[in-house]
């Protein structure tokens, strides 16, 4: 059994802005317009995100092509909210697997488009006891990823 790391970040936003953010999030062809790290994205369906879809986000980091794969695990919608849970399927750099120390990587993004609503991003992963010696770096990674999603989604006008 390993150690579980989590981080949650949230930001209050007007209901109309949350609805626009959700609309752009659920349209993979629009991701490069609002997501600062997704220079391109491949999805099962280019116009909508549904349960069971696969996403592949591509970005250049230090001259290497990084591909991050996600599975849309669940989408829950109700009166005034939508929650989308993504399950990490792995990363590769120049087609070679990387980042295998993070197990069960999940991101849950909740869009609450009511009064006093906003966006919440929760991220969690599990690592082995040996990898947990890098807990400071893992916590920093989790915080950076959740803050990036919050910043990108809250900058949508």
Between CA 92 and CA 133 the distance in angstroms is: 23
What is the Cβ-side half-sphere exposure of residue 129, based on CA atoms within 13 angstroms? 1
Count other C-beta atoms under 10 Å from residue 148's C-beta: 15
**SS3 state at 28:** helix
Which H helix or E strand runs over 20? Answer: helix 15-25
Most confident of 31-35, 93-97, 107-111, 137-141: 107-111
Q: Which residue has the tokens 């790290």?
A: 37
Taking CB atoms within 8 Å and a gap of at least 24, the contacts of 96-100 are 98/66
What the chain holds in terms of domains, given with CATH numbers, is 3-154 (3.30.530.20)
pLDDT tens per residue, range 106-153: 999 999 998 889 999 999 999 888 888 888 998 998 999 999 999 999
Q: Tell me: pLDDT of 1 over 80.
A: no
Question: Is residue 149 within 8 Å of 123, Cβ to Cβ?
Answer: no
Name the percent of the chain in helix, strand, coil, to the closest 5: 25, 45, 25
Between CA 21 and CA 155 the distance in angstroms is: 9
Q: Which two tokens stand for residue 152?
A: 């990108």
- Determine which of 34-38, 78-82, 105-109 has the lowest per-residue pLDDT on average: 34-38
Degrees to nearest 5, angle at CA 83 with 122 and 127: 30
């Amino acid at each position: 059994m390993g150690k579980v790391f989590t981080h949650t970040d949230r930001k209050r936003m007007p209901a109309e802005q949350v609805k626009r953010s959700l609309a752009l999030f659920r349209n993979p062809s629009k991701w490069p317009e609002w997501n600062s790290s997704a220079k391109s994205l491949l999805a099962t369906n280019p116009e909508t995100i549904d349960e069971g879809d696969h996403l592949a986000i591509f970005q250049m980091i230090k001259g290497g092509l990084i591909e991050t794969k996600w599975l849309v695990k669940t989408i829950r919608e109700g009166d005034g909210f939508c929650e989308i849970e993504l399950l990490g399927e792995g990363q590769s750099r120049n087609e070679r697997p990387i980042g295998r120390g993070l197990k069960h990587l999940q991101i849950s993004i909740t869009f609450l488009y009511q009064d006093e609503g906003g966006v919440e991003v929760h991220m969690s992963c599990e690592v082995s006891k040996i990898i947990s010696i890098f807990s400071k770096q893992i916590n920093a990674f989790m915080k950076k990823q959740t803050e990036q999603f919050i910043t990108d989604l809250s900058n949508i006008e």
